[in-house]
Amino acid sequence: MRSESQGPIGIFDSGYGGLTILHGIRQLLPQYDYLYLGDNARAPYGTRSFDVVYEFTRQAVLKLFEQGCQLVILGCNTASAKALRSIQQHDLPLIDPQRRVLGIIRPTAEVIGQLTTSRHVGVLATEGTIKSESYTLEIKKQYPDIAVSGVACPFWVPLVEYNEADSPGADYFVKKRIDQLMALDPAIDAIILGCTHYPLLMPKIKKYVPSGIRIIAQGDFVAGSLQTYLHRHPEMERRCTKHASVRYLTTENPDKFRESAQLFLHEHVEVENITLG
């Protein structure tokens, strides 16, 4: 696939959670053009196998490349955990060695050492992300002295996507997983929300996380990491167009996407339906 000279920054997620990443990036870097792709028809990815997540993610990256994106961010922890390395090492050299695909696990892992005093960190994420141990591996690369404990939160994504994040019923599921994490390691003083949906549960999470523990959402750190990346790679920065625009693509019903996007962005969006695979 031949590389076009310029295009928007692509952001991919299996569902809507990546909109929290997009929001954080736009807050810091509003001048760029963005193209968001949600594979909502096949979400969630959290319980799918490595092979399936890789294939779905690869299809999405190819679609964003077809749309002119020179740089794609996997705004999905499951895709970052299960597909990023294979795409970077095996696919990009064949597709277009000049383009780049980045994930959202490493930016958080890189800063966690500055955010914990006890050197005990917790991760709340989907089953797929926890089983991959991606956060543990990335954090240990940067900070071998930090102990990492993780708990899967299988019901948290549906709570957000069905607009139940503020419901009384959500309290049970949120408290249960936080209690489980703190029982694993009472010395934890920082908790990473390792799923892009989870910031929408923040009021409930703050309610049940013991006082003095830092809760870390990824959006701000991914945005800062992207800003640093573009500064360090001016050749890529020049290939990212700058008209402060955003386009949205979904594999699902556009009306459904518009309705759900309101929960994450609090603004009306125009969205186009596409097919992957």
Q: Is residue 257 classed as helix, strand or coil in its secondary structure?
A: helix
Contacts of 41 by beta carbon, 8 Å cutoff, 6+ apart: 250, 251, 252
Write the pLDDT tens digit of every residue in 116-159: 999 999 999 999 899 999 999 999 999 999 999 999 999 999 99
Contact (Cβ atoms closer than 8 angstroms) between residue 201 and residue 132: no
Reply yes or no on whether the pLDDT at 3 is more than 90. Answer: no
Q: Is 244 left (phi over 0), alpha (psi -120 to 50) or beta?
A: left
pTM: 0.92
The share of the chain scoring above pLDDT 90, in percent, equals 90
Number of Cβ within a 10 Å radius of residue 184: 13
pLDDT above 50 for 84 = yes
pLDDT, mean over the chain: 95
Q: Are 146 and 119 in contact (CB under 8 A)?
A: yes
The pLDDT tens digits for 43-76 are 989 889 999 999 999 999 999 999 999 999 999 9
Cite the active site residues.
Answer: 76, 195
Give per-residue pLDDT as tens, 244-262. Answer: 999 999 999 999 999 989 8
User: What is the separation, in whole angstroms, between the first and last Cα of the chain?
Assistant: 16
Selected residue with higher pLDDT from 128 and 3: 128
CA distance 152 to 127: 5
Cα atoms in the 13 Å half-sphere on the side-chain side of 105: 27
Local structure of 269: helix, strand or coil:
coil
